[in-house]
Structure 1
Amino acid sequence: MKFWLSVGLIIFSIQHLVAQAIDKERLLEYYESQRYADAAQYLQSIYPADTRDTKVLTQMAYCQMMSGNFPEAEKNYLKVNTIEPNNVPVLFSLAGINSRRGNKNKAKAYLLDIIRLDSLNFNAYRQLAGFGENTGERLKYLKKANTLNATDPDVAYDLSMTYRELKQYQEAYDVLETAIAADPGNFTLQQAQLPLANQLGKYTEVVETGEKLLKENSDVNVINEMGQAYFYLKEYQKCAAVFKTLEDLGVQNEGTLYFMALSYRELKEYDKAEIYAKKTIDEGISNHTALYYTALGGIYEQKKKFPNALEAYKRGLTFDNNHSIYYRLGLLYDFNLKQAKNAVNYYNLYLKSKPDPGKEKEQVDYAKARITALTKS
């Protein structure tokens, strides 16, 4: 509908162009088939390059913009803006072109010009929010846009997420509530409201809305929110069952496993509670934790803080029996702490951990040589 309206307006403007005879049917065909580059070239072939006719320039700029020729589109829109300054549609076009080219500062400047001319321009505030340099600035523009149109779903969603980021859960919930009332079938807004409802203790509402949403789409985020709501409603069996579906799908996380452990504890199913408590711990530990402690130990060594290095390496071993840590401990005890017995012990542990003989031949040979030397001494 918007496309045909645009075409109609363009063709109407063609009738007002005072220049050489123009083939309206040909131009209309270009627009209907969305051959904007051809339309722009045709207009350029008819009108002189130095024309100051704003209708002609606007038409050419529009066609160039729609065909992706942003430099020429900007050039013609700037001509129009010079001849007829403070033209809001032209300023919007210039903002759009600069936004798509990544020139955010220029795009923002044009949008600020628009609200200077029209302080109630919803679209300008909505777009300005996207250029907010920080949460506060983004919030300012989104609040203004929401004040002008509280039922716009995109603005309501973005404003709600911004409030949530600021932990202003009631404000975030209320913004979505208004938009949902205007569009009860908007599942995106309802799903966005679920975690807020949980934060505000509206657990029954979470379950009821979640059940409705799951009929449309089995979304893991909805299941997660429902599981939490069941727990706080003390419906522990349902909580465990809901989170078990996530585990079966392989999308469990530390939080879901934790709720399962607590639920089974409340149900006095202690064996299961123990299993899921251990799973929670395992999920909460990164596969790279041992590597991080190895790096920390190396830093302490460089700073000659050898007791700290020893503590870091041993801490790393509690997460993974990493052979490189055994080797580092062997070196630390050997050369820095001067404890030959401990050095031999960790060199042996390194060799028993079966390091890759191809990639670590030098370290393997060195560990064997040091064991021999330290044992003899």
Structure 2
Amino acid sequence: MKFRLLLSLFIFSIQHLISQTIDKEKLLEYYESQRYADAAQYLQSMYPSDTKDTKSLTQMAYCYMMSGKLPEAEKSYLKVNSIEPENVPVLFSLATINSRRGNKAKARAYLSEIIRLDSLNFNAWKQLAGYGENADERLKYLKKANTLNNTDPDVAYDLSMTYRELKQYPQAYEVLKTAIAADPGNFTLQQAQLPVANQLGKYREVVENGEKLLKENTDANVINEMGQAYFYLKDYQRCAALFKTLEDLGVRNEGTLYFMALSYRELKEYDKAEIYAKKTIDEGISNHTSIYYTALGGIYEQKEQFSNALEAYKRGLTFSSSPTLYYRLGLLYDFNLKQAKNAVNYYNLYLKNKPDPEEKDQIEYAKARIAALTTTKELVKK
């Protein structure tokens, strides 16, 4: 009932602006059913196309924006902006439209204009931070927004993340502490504070707050931070138990496995320590590492830095027995290093390591080169 009354009053306020009579009931129906496109079309039919009435243009622009017709909304707002160039709500709407359309430069320009007009506009600073080109620029905008409202949870969270990125942990902690004090039930802020507190050595605090958060929700990030805190508190049993929980949940990485290996070592459970040390090594090695070294070796070959290429290829073999690497080494020894014996050795290793059957041409070439090199006097000499 209250919503209907407000809409009726708004419609009445614009009715006197035009000579034609607006059907208030029809317009009210459009709003209540959220048929903003129909509302915009209806309003447009009631005003001349060259109208300069800013209230009418703003109303049409809003309906277009709400209906997703952003080009039409921008056109109407630009008309208002040309008549009233320092209208802050219109500038915000233009910034929003351009943000939704992916035109960050324009959105940023409108927000900057708002700040020029009103340097204490919290929302403008807050939104502008989203267009910062680097951490230092985001920090500048977020600090200003936080100064204007240090309890806003979104700004506090983003500012703390930026401080963390810049490794400014005390500042990140204080920003979150203030925001949490204003909203003790904000679990997102409390969770964001855990890794910062760990960095600052506040391990007891991490454990205490982590336990409270786990009562609300079993979150892997919270368990991870608590596990680290227990390790530094030298409670290796609890540390290992928490990271084992993560492993059982299918959540593990190089870091969690490493803490488990160290914890079991401190507990003198050396068999388990050995298992997790090996798991840590395996986790730290990418399945694609040998491919990366293959690419690096190829680059060195192109630069005619053959010793570096040799080192790269052999380094790649320490991660996996890649047929491709064996083949590349065969070619390198064959044509660039002129070491026939080594070339034959690597061609053979290539064939023994089950190359892809689709590499038919390479397989045949390797066989042909082995045959050619093993019959040359050069091979005998070397």
TM-score range for the pair, normalised by the shorter chain length: over 0.9
SS for the counterpart of 1:174 is helix
Quote the Cα distance in structure 2 between the aligned partners of 1:230 and 1:9: 62
Quote the Cα distance in structure 1 between the aligned partners of 2:6 and 2:108: 25
SS for the counterpart of 1:181 is helix
Q: Does 1:260 align with 2:252?
A: no
Once the two structures are TM-superposed, the CA of residue 111 in structure 1 deviates from its matched residue by 1.7
User: Could you report, residue by residue, the CA deviation over 1:49-83 in whole angstroms, capped at 9, with x for unpaired residues?
Assistant: 12222221111111111111222222222222233
After superposition, the Cα gap between the structure-2 partners of 1:101 and 1:32, relative to the gap in structure 1 and judged at 3 Å, is: same
Do 2:300 and 2:309's aligned partners in 1 also have CA atoms closer than 8 Å?
yes
Quote the Cα distance in structure 2 between the aligned partners of 1:307 and 1:254: 32
Q: Does 1:107 align with 2:107?
A: yes
Which residue of structure 2 lines up, in the alignment, with residue 221 of structure 1? 221
Quote the Cα distance in structure 1 between the aligned partners of 2:254 and 2:98: 43
Moved more, 93-102 or 263-272: 93-102
Do 1:13 and 1:55's aligned partners in 2 also have CA atoms closer than 8 Å?
no
Which residue of structure 2 lines up, in the alignment, with residue 211 of structure 1? 211
Q: Does 1:68 align with 2:85?
A: no
Quote the Cα distance in structure 2 between the aligned partners of 1:259 and 1:8: 65
One-letter amino acid of the structure 1 residue matched with residue 39 of structure 2: A
User: Could you report, residue by residue, the CA deviation over 1:343-377 in whole angstroms, capped at 9, with x for unpaired residues?
Assistant: 222222111112123x1222222222222222233
Quote the Cα distance in structure 2 between the aligned partners of 1:2 and 1:127: 31
Quote the Cα distance in structure 2 between the aligned partners of 1:256 and 1:183: 31
Which residue of structure 1 lines up, in the alignment, with residue 118 of structure 2? 118
Unaligned runs of 5+ in 2: 377-382
Once the two structures are TM-superposed, the CA of residue 205 in structure 1 deviates from its matched residue by 1.1
What is the percentage of aligned positions where both structures have the same residue? 84
> TM-score when scaled to structure 2?
0.93
Once the two structures are TM-superposed, the CA of residue 243 in structure 1 deviates from its matched residue by 0.7
Once the two structures are TM-superposed, the CA of residue 44 in structure 1 deviates from its matched residue by 1.2
User: Could you report, residue by residue, the CA deviation over 1:24-67 in whole angstroms, capped at 9, with x for unpaired residues?
Assistant: 11111111111011011111111211222222111111111111
Do 2:157 and 2:176's aligned partners in 1 also have CA atoms closer than 8 Å?
yes
Do 2:37 and 2:64's aligned partners in 1 also have CA atoms closer than 8 Å?
yes
Do 2:261 and 2:274's aligned partners in 1 also have CA atoms closer than 8 Å?
yes
> TM-score when scaled to structure 1?
0.94
Do 2:15 and 2:22's aligned partners in 1 also have CA atoms closer than 8 Å?
no
Quote the Cα distance in structure 2 between the aligned partners of 1:332 and 1:15: 85
Q: How does 1:53-92 map to 2 (within 5 A)?
A: 53-92=53-92
Which residue of structure 2 lines up, in the alignment, with residue 247 of structure 1? 247
After superposition, the Cα gap between the structure-2 partners of 1:8 and 1:252, relative to the gap in structure 1 and judged at 3 Å, is: farther
Once the two structures are TM-superposed, the CA of residue 331 in structure 1 deviates from its matched residue by 2.1
After superposition, the Cα gap between the structure-2 partners of 1:237 and 1:369, relative to the gap in structure 1 and judged at 3 Å, is: same
Quote the Cα distance in structure 2 between the aligned partners of 1:194 and 1:12: 54
SS for the counterpart of 2:201 is coil
SS for the counterpart of 1:86 is coil
Quote the Cα distance in structure 1 between the aligned partners of 2:2 and 2:214: 34
Do 2:142 and 2:155's aligned partners in 1 also have CA atoms closer than 8 Å?
yes
Q: CA RMSD in A?
A: 2.0
After superposition, the Cα gap between the structure-2 partners of 1:60 and 1:226, relative to the gap in structure 1 and judged at 3 Å, is: same
Do 2:64 and 2:70's aligned partners in 1 also have CA atoms closer than 8 Å?
yes
Once the two structures are TM-superposed, the CA of residue 166 in structure 1 deviates from its matched residue by 1.1
Once the two structures are TM-superposed, the CA of residue 310 in structure 1 deviates from its matched residue by 2.0
After superposition, the Cα gap between the structure-2 partners of 1:5 and 1:256, relative to the gap in structure 1 and judged at 3 Å, is: farther
Once the two structures are TM-superposed, the CA of residue 22 in structure 1 deviates from its matched residue by 1.1
User: Could you report, residue by residue, the CA deviation over 1:149-203 in whole angstroms, capped at 9, with x for unpaired residues?
Assistant: 1111111111111111111111111111111111111111111111001001111
One-letter amino acid of the structure 2 residue matched with residue 215 of structure 1: K
One-letter amino acid of the structure 2 residue matched with residue 24 of structure 1: K
Do 1:58 and 1:76's aligned partners in 2 also have CA atoms closer than 8 Å?
yes
Which residue of structure 2 lines up, in the alignment, with residue 360 of structure 1? 359
After superposition, the Cα gap between the structure-2 partners of 1:298 and 1:109, relative to the gap in structure 1 and judged at 3 Å, is: closer
SS for the counterpart of 1:162 is helix
Unaligned runs of 5+ in 1: none
SS for the counterpart of 1:132 is coil
Quote the Cα distance in structure 2 between the aligned partners of 1:256 and 1:134: 30
One-letter amino acid of the structure 1 residue matched with residue 351 of structure 2: L
After superposition, the Cα gap between the structure-2 partners of 1:243 and 1:81, relative to the gap in structure 1 and judged at 3 Å, is: same
Which residue of structure 1 lines up, in the alignment, with residue 171 of structure 2? 171
SS for the counterpart of 2:263 is helix
